[in-house]
Amino acid sequence: MSTPRPTATALFARPSRAKRIEQVVAWMLRLSTYFVLLCAAFIFYDIGTKGGSVIFRTSAPFINVPFLTQSPETLNVFERDGQKVTMGDQEFRKYKAEHAEQMKNVHPETYVYSAGGIFPNIVGTVLLVTGSIFIALVLGVLSAIYLSEYATEGPFIRFLRLSIVNLAGVPSIVFGLFGFGMFVIAMDMGVSLLAGWLTLAFMVLPIIITASEEALKAVPKGYREGSLALGATKFQTIMSNVLPYALPGILTSSVLSIARVAGETAPIMFTAAFVVRDQMPWEVQKFTDFFFQGVMALPYHIYVVASKIPQNEYTRDVQYGTAFVFLFTVAAIAMTAVVLRVRLRKKYKW
């Protein structure tokens, strides 16, 4: 018995089971992507609007300058003539001295860090990021050059590479504790910029080494051979005819690293960050003290203001404002690297 010949509609019109599955899968993939996008958009919207209202002003100079240029202060809230008044600590003391009679029985509510600005934190984060990225790039690129150009492939080098890749998976708090034990205590650096730099640099080294090695390996062999055949040494060849072409790739990895270094709280809370510090980083007795001072930093400040002080209308500004400035600072540093990369790409097109 032969099966009847299917009609044209049966052949082309009815979606088969495989086709339905195909459509469902496509939509699931699409929706999960949209969901991620939606979450990210919500975070940026929330911080952007609430933080933006702290930073931007409707009248000239349109930016909340004190928030960006002052140090954090304690906020005092008290009642005067039936109205709530908020004042920063310095202002409050002055006011209290002037109106001693009136203020005798006033006990203000205080909220730490909720007045003033976050200038020292911005400075601290920029210092931490630039220093650690510099250390990580120098160490990372040198190691990558060794691995890609000089090392002879073998079990030991493979083991070395595996260790480096695994290092990337170590939680940041472990790096923080390592830095604390190694640099702060064993090497007696104290809670300092230098200890923070080294800890953060070690945290991002795996990313930088791996990406730099890939970037170096992507440079065509012909450039190396051509250079060597002209009588260049291996080192001359690498410096003038391999590394420049790999730089854009190396900088791409450093953009990722910058975001990580700037954002991590765990590695610096034991090694470099102070909750509060009155002096600015450049107010040091002698040059070497610069490296051995702790700094305030944005991520740690966010942690403190988000978890250690009550959440209410008075503290909200500093919380959202700090988060906003933090996002902006990271984006600005990363942008610099992106611009540098684009310029290099243009210069060495291949």
- Binding residues for other proteins, per CB under 8 A? 152-153, 220, 222-233, 236, 240-241, 245, 348-350
User: CA-CA distances (angstroms) from residue 289 to 30, 97, 123, 202, 281?
Assistant: 54, 37, 17, 23, 9
Rg of the chain's alpha carbons, rounded to an integer?
28
Q: How far is the CB of 229 from other proteins (least distance, A)?
A: 4
Nearer to other proteins, 70 or 241 (CB): 241
- Residue 155 Cβ vs other proteins, minimum distance, rounded to whole Å: 14
Identity of the residue, 64 or 252, whose beta carbon is nearer to other proteins in the bound complex: 252
Q: Which is nearer to other proteins, 66 or 226 (CB)?
A: 226
Quickly list DSSP for 250-316: HHHHHHHHHHHHHH--HHHHTTTB-S--SS-TT--SSGGGGGG--B--HHHHHHHHHHSS--STTTH
What contacts 128, CB < 8 A, 6 or more positions away?
193, 196, 197, 200, 261, 262, 268, 272, 295, 297
Distance CA 190, CA 109 (A): 35
Contacts of 257 (CB under 8 A, 6+ apart): 133, 136, 204, 207, 208
Return the number of the residue (73 or 213) whose C-beta is nearest other proteins: 213
Q: What backbone torsions phi and psi does residue 264 show, to the nearest 5 degrees?
A: -75, 135
Please, which residue, 53 or 241, has the CB nearer to other proteins? 241
Tokens representing 94 are: 């002055």
The tokens describing 339, both together, are 């611009």
Q: Measuring CA to CA, which residue among 112, 73, 40 is closest to residue 327? A: 40
The least distance separating other proteins from the CB of residue 219, rounded to whole angstroms, comes to 10
Task: Please state the closest distance from residue 195 (CB atom) to other proteins, in A.
Answer: 41
- In whole angstroms, the minimum distance from the beta carbon of 173 to other proteins comes to 42
CB-nearer residue toward other proteins: 208 or 250: 250
Cα–chain center distance at 131: 13
67, 58 contact by CB (below 8 A) = no
CB of 148 to other proteins, least distance (A): 14
Q: Which is nearer to other proteins, 100 or 229 (CB)?
A: 229
- Least distance (Å) between residue 235 CB and other proteins: 10
